[in-house]
Structure 1
Amino acid sequence: MTDVDDEQVRAAWRTMREAMVDGDVEALGRILDPGFVLVHMTGHHQPRQEWLEEIASGAAVYHAVDDESVEVDARDPDAPVVAARTFTDVTLGGERGRWQTGFRTGFRRRHGGWTAVRTEGYAW
């Protein structure tokens, strides 16, 4: 087991969030684990590459992801989880909306940094 630097894990979340808003699939791809999956509120499981392609094509545009609160659960120091309550302004399938969206993201240490392995979206 390793100690978790809470601020490093929070910084990883901020990097992921900023890459989403910037539409920067290269930066987002660097922070997402190769086996990453996004679980939508609907229950749809979207693999890493499919999500990146959706962002790159403009099918998903994150205009803003504003944190309301961010908590780090490091009970398992090898797999901390960030629970972020956000106000998310996004266009999906041509429909734009602003929702209270929670993102529960699990991270793992990889190559000296933190990578996201799974994100579950939920309404709050």
Structure 2
Amino acid sequence: MLVAALGVLAISALSTTPASAEAGWQSLGNSDFYPDADLNGCHTRTFSSGGGYIRYTFSRVSHDGEQTTLRIYEYDAGNADELIDTRHPYDGTVATVYVDNFTDGDNGKAEIYFKVSEIGCNGAPWVHVDD
């Protein structure tokens, strides 16, 4: 009887835990895309990752069903930003990318941001990131 009660307690605890925490992910938050200074595309805010994999969800409120070119960068204050990867997500895509090789600086973190060019800021694109 005690085993059955503990099983119910464990299931109850799991059902109230956010999905990202269940899988060991910690939310770094959301960001809209903002126009670049040269108006040649849009970028997100910077997310600080401790390394390993990050998971992102890309979304557009308005879309035409076509893929978008999404570039993932690591921000470096003293030199050129490093391109981590280029992806072609659809609206609602959830994917991971390995960023461990891009941790640096005094904080030992990878400062990640996302950039789109061909859709600009049209369609209200946004991204959610988990570390």
- Normalising by structure 1, we get a TM-score of 0.26
Which structure shows the bigger proportion of residues in strand conformation?
1
Query: Greater relative contact order: 1 or 2 (C-alpha under 8 angstroms, separation 6 or more)?
Result: 2
Structure number with larger C-alpha Rg: 2
Which structure shows the bigger proportion of residues in helix conformation?
1
- Normalising by structure 2, we get a TM-score of 0.25
